[in-house]
């Protein structure tokens, strides 16, 4: 299924945590956060990692890795194309607190899925089109959004400003 369909499709198949329906999608690892001690086997806490996956066309999904998935894939670098197979839907904290709607912060965040087995994630290689947005934020830092470099060097947020600068 297309990455854009992951959230709506999984939501329509029931609540998070129920069974593993077989589905698959391909995405690019756009950003990751690793728990302290994920690479150290002596850590007393369970290793975890949080990935933001992108289709490089604007759709994003957040993937939480636990257990063998986190241990096996902690060294995966940003820009890697991955195949996800049968990951479970998960719900964000704000979604759990809310009654399931209302346009709050949870409704605008990307869909969230969970992988607790290394076999749920298959590494395909480096995505040649992957790049970071070339624009700067108002604070002067480089934008961290992933873009398809073969289409445009800036993200959809910075594209109108770049176009305005080209017109002047």
| 54 C-beta neighbours (distance < 10 Å), count | 23
Please check whether residue 30 is in contact with residue 54, taking contact to mean a CB–CB distance below 8 angstroms.
Answer: yes
Q: In this structure, what is the dihedral angle of CA atoms 131, 60, 36, 139, given to the nearest 10 degrees?
A: 60
In DSSP notation, the chain reads --GGGHHHHHHHT-STTS-----EEEEEEEEEEE-TTTT-TT-SSPPEEEEEEE-SSS-EEEEEEEHHHHHHHTTPPTTEEEEEESPEEE--HHHHHS-S-SSSHHHHSPPEEEE-SGGGEEEEEE-TTEEE---B-TTSPBP--EEETTT-SS-TTTHHHHHHHHH-
Residue 37: what pLDDT?
57
The confidence score (pLDDT) of residue 2 equals 84
Q: Are 152 and 159 in contact (CB under 8 A)?
A: yes
Environment class of 66 (CB within 10 Å of its CB; exposed 0-12, middle 13-18, buried 19+): middle
Per-residue pLDDT of the chain (168 residues; tens, 9 = 90+): 888 887 776 666 554 444 455 789 999 999 998 776 555 444 446 788 999 999 998 889 999 999 899 989 989 999 999 999 988 888 655 444 444 444 444 446 888 999 989 999 999 999 999 999 999 988 999 998 999 999 999 998 999 988 888 888
Q: What tokens appear for 107 in the block? A: 């409704």
Report the alpha-carbon distance of residue 69 to residue 75 in Å, rounded. Answer: 11
> Would you state the pLDDT for residue 86?
86
Kindly state the tokens that stand for 9: 């499709």
Q: pTM of this prediction?
A: 0.76
């Amino acid at each position: 299924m297309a990455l854009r369909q992951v959230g709506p499709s999984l939501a329509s198949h029931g609540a998070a945590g129920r069974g593993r329906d077989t589905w698959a999608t391909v995405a690019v690892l756009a950003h990751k956060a690793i728990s302290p001690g994920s690479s150290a086997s002596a850590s007393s806490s369970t290793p975890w990692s949080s990935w933001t996956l992108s289709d490089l066309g604007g759709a994003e999904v957040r993937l939480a890795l636990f257990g063998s998935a986190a241990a096996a894939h902690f060294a995966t670098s940003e820009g890697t194309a991955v195949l996800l197979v049968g990951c479970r839907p998960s719900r964000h904290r704000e979604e759990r607190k809310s009654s399931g709607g209302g346009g709050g912060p949870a409704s605008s965040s990307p869909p969230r899925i969970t992988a607790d087995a290394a076999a749920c994630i298959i590494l395909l290689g480096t995505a040649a089109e992957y790049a970071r947005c070339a624009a700067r934020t108002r604070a002067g830092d480089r934008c961290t959004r992933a873009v398809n470099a073969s289409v445009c060097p800036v993200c959809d947020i910075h594209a109108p400003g770049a176009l305005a600068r080209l017109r002047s």
